[in-house]
Amino acid sequence: MTFHIGIGPNNRKSCYFDATVAAGVACFSVYNHMFIPAHFGDPEAEYDALMTGVAMWDVAAQRQVEIAGPDAFELIQYLTTRDMTKTRVGQGRYVPICNHEGLLINDPVLLMLEAGRYWLSIADSDIALWASAIAAERGMDVRVHEPDVSPLAIQGPKAERVVAELFGDWVKELSYFGFRQTELRSIPLVLARSGWSKQGGFELYLQDGTRGTELWDMVQAAGARHGIRPGAPNDRERIESGLVSYGADGRLQVNPCNPFEIGLGGLVDFAKPEDFVGKAALQRIKAEGAARRRVRYVIEGAPLGAFEHALPVLTGKGVSVGVLSEAIYSQRFGANIGVGMISTQMDETGETLHVEMAEGGRRVEIRAEFGDG
Amino acid sequence: MTFHIGIGPNNRKSCYFDATVAAGVACFSVYNHMFIPAHFGDPEAEYDALMTGVAMWDVAAQRQVEIAGPDAFELIQYLTTRDMTKTRVGQGRYVPICNHEGLLINDPVLLMLEAGRYWLSIADSDIALWASAIAAERGMDVRVHEPDVSPLAIQGPKAERVVAELFGDWVKELSYFGFRQTELRSIPLVLARSGWSKQGGFELYLQDGTRGTELWDMVQAAGARHGIRPGAPNDRERIESGLVSYGADGRLQVNPCNPFEIGLGGLVDFAKPEDFVGKAALQRIKAEGAARRRVRYVIEGAPLGAFEHALPVLTGKGVSVGVLSEAIYSQRFGANIGVGMISTQMDETGETLHVEMAEGGRRVEIRAEFGDG
C-alpha cells in the first residue's frame, strides 16, 4: 500500500527541498518536524550507488542543537553519558543522551566548534526543548537553540573523490568524525567525515539556508562524473551494518531502551567526576544487569516486502521475549535480516522463535553478525 | 506536486491505522512521531461532512502526557501559564505552555482525571521529555509518561446525535471541554465534548490500543445513517474559524510566538501565587508590549492551490513585516483566507502589503474577522 504525504506548514521544508524535488524525489518521511526524502523512485539503484559509488542525501532534518555560553561545557558534561573533558575542537564524538530514568532519548554526534560552543547533531526528538529546560532549571548561563544548519551527506566509496574535488586534498586527512569550518564558493559550512552509513563519506553542515539549492547543485555537478545519485539514509545498508536508528529501533514512547541493552554501555562513563542526567538510574540498571540485549535476526521464508512497524518476537507458546524493530530482504546476505532486542533469559534456551506476519508465522534466528556470503 | 510517504518504524502507527486504511485513507502526515490521516481522497466532501453533517477523525497522534503522583498538582501549576487551582475533575481546560523564555511550546487541553492525576492532550512537540526533565530537576515526586490513550474525534453538527446513540442522552449535558470516564461495550474510554473545530463534537479518548478497529467500526456503524464520513483535522475550517495550530502557525524552531502576540495573553495569569515556567520572561514581554499580533489575512487573486509553507508578508519596498502562516481558498467566504502575524508597527500605516508566490506577488489585506458573505 502506498499513500501520499501532506506537504503543508505543520512540518518544515528542508533548505534542499526544492533541489530534491527537481532531482525527482518520490517519497518523504518526517524527522524532527521536517520533511526528509525517503527515496527517489529507484531504491535498488540508490542502494548500489551507496555501496559501490557515491550518493547524496538531504539530511537537513538531522538538526543541530547549539549550546553556547560560559556554562556550555558544564551543560554538555551534564547532558551526556560520556566524559566530555577530552573533547576537542575539530573532532566529533558519538554521545548517547539519556533521560533521568536512564532511557535513551537521542544519540547525536557532538561537535565542539570552539571553547564554549557545541552542536549536537541529533536524531528525531526535541532535544533543544529538553536541554534548554535543564539549563534553565539549573540556572546555567548558556543559550540552547537550533541554528540555521542543514547537513548534506555524501556517502559511498567514491565520496572522498567528490569531496576532494570540491574542497581540496586536505579532506583526505580528516579522521573519522573529524571536521573543519570551511567554505565553498563563499558558502559557509562545516565539513565532517561522518554520515549514517558504514560506506564512508562526509557531511556538509551548510550554515546558510538560503543557499541550499546552490550547494546541492555544486555537489551534483562535482559528483556527476563519479555517477553520484540522490538518495536517502538507507535502511537496508543500516540493517546490514547494524547501525542504531533512534526512532526505528525504539524511542522513549515505544520500546524504550537503555544504553546497556542497545549496545552503547561502553559509552556510559560512571568514572567522570561530574554528575550527569540518568546516572543514578543507569548505575541501578547496570547493577541489576540488562534484561535485554540488542541482536541481529534472520527471518526465514520468501523475501520480505515493506516492513511497516516493529513486531514482537515470540516463543512457541506465543510469549513475547523480544522485538524485531526493522527487517528487510538483503541480496548481499541472501536472507531477510533485521535488528531488535531479545530477553537475556533466552540466551541459554535455544528455543525456536517466530514473528507473526500478515501471511502467518515466520521463524527467526538470532545472529551475532550476518557475515558475508 | 504529490509525493508518497514512507510507512516504516521511524514513526508510529495509530491504533486506528488499519481502520483508516480500510476506510480508504489517501494521505498521511506525521504528528508527535505518529502517522495521522490528512485526507481520504475527497477534501470537499470531508469539509461538507464537518460543516453540515458529521465526520470521524483518527487523532490518536494528539498524545496524552500523564502527570501523576503526590506532586502532580505542583508540577501542573508550574508548567502552565494559567492558575490551575480551580481545575476540577470532569472539566478540561485549554492551557498554553511556554518555555523559560516565554515562547509557546504547546497548547494542550488539560484533563484532571482525579486528584493527583492529569492528562495534557498535546499538540506536536515532545512535552513528555520536557516536563519529565523539569520534574526530575526539581526533585518532584511525580511520574510523567505517555499512557495508552488514543483520541478519536467525532465532529460536526450531527456529532451529538451519533454520540448520544452510542453512549446515551447524558452526553447532551456535557459542557464544552466537559468529560467523563466511561466505556462502550467494555472498551474503556474518556468521553469529552471537545475537538479541533468550531463545528461542535466530541473526542473519545480510547484507553486500550488493541481495540482501535473495534471502536472505529462502532462509531462508523452508529454514524452511518447520519452520513458520517472519515476525515481529518480540517485546515480550511480551522482557518475560517481562526483556531491556533501549534506547528503550522509557528513552533519553537520556526516563527516562535509568545502567548501575547498569538492571542493567548488572557491565559497568562501573573496573579497566581506560584512561580511558573517563563513567568519572568513573560512579564518582560508584556511590559515591553508585543511586537506582533495575530491577524487574519485575505489574499487577492485566483483561488489558491496547495499552500506548502509560511510566507513573509512584505511592504511595497520588500521589507518583511509579518508572516502568512497558512492560507486556503474558502468558498464560504468567497476568498483566499489565511492566518498569521503582523508587526504592531503596521497598525497605523495602512500600507499596502503583499506576499510573493510562485506566480508572482499577491496583495494581502488584514482582517479582524472574515465575516460571513
Domains present along chain B, CATH in parentheses: 17-63+149-238 (3.30.1360.120), 239-367 (3.30.1360.120)
Residue A294 above 50 pLDDT? Answer: yes
Judged by CB atoms closer than 8 Å, whether chains meet at A2 and B6 is answered as no
Q: What per-residue confidence (pLDDT) applies to B373?
A: 40
Identify all chain A residues contacting B253, using CB atoms and an 8 Å cutoff: 12, 33, 63, 128, 146
User: What pLDDT, in 10s, does the model give residues A208-234?
Assistant: 999 999 999 999 999 999 999 999 999
Rg for chain B, CA atoms, rounded: 21
Q: For chain A, give percent helix, strand, coil, nearest 5.
A: 25, 30, 45
Question: Which of A:261-300 have CB within 8 Å of B?
Answer: 277
- When CB atoms are compared, the residue of A10, A129, A249 closest to B129 is A129
Closest CA to B54 of B175, B157, B191: B157
User: What pLDDT, in 10s, does the model give residues A48-107?
Assistant: 999 999 999 999 999 999 999 999 999 999 999 999 999 999 999 999 999 999 999 999
Identify all chain B residues contacting A11, using CB atoms and an 8 Å cutoff: 29-30, 247
Q: What per-residue confidence (pLDDT) applies to A371?
A: 66
Reported confidence tier of residue A139, pLDDT bands at 50, 70, 90:
very high
The pTM for the full model equals 0.97
3-state SS class at B133: helix
Residue A348 above 80 pLDDT? Answer: no
Residues A337, A324: Cα–Cα separation, whole Å: 10
The residues facing A4 across adjacent strands are: B4, B27
Identify all chain A residues contacting B63, using CB atoms and an 8 Å cutoff: 253
Question: Which of A:195-254 have CB within 8 Å of B?
Answer: 235, 245, 247-249, 251-254
Q: What per-residue confidence (pLDDT) applies to B219?
A: 98
Q: Using CB atoms within 10 A of its CB, is residue B337 exposed (0-12), middle (13-18) or buried (19+)?
A: buried
Asked if B293 contacts B341 with a C-beta cutoff of 8 angstroms, the reply is yes
Residues A341, A336: Cα–Cα separation, whole Å: 16
Vertex B205 angle, CA B200 and B206, to 5° = 135
The residues facing B27 across adjacent strands are: A4, B39
Q: How many CB pairs under 8 A join A and B?
A: 184
Reported confidence tier of residue B191, pLDDT bands at 50, 70, 90:
very high
Asked if A276 contacts A79 with a C-beta cutoff of 8 angstroms, the reply is yes
Q: What per-residue confidence (pLDDT) applies to A152?
A: 98
Residue B52: what are its φ and ψ, rounded to 5°? -125, -10
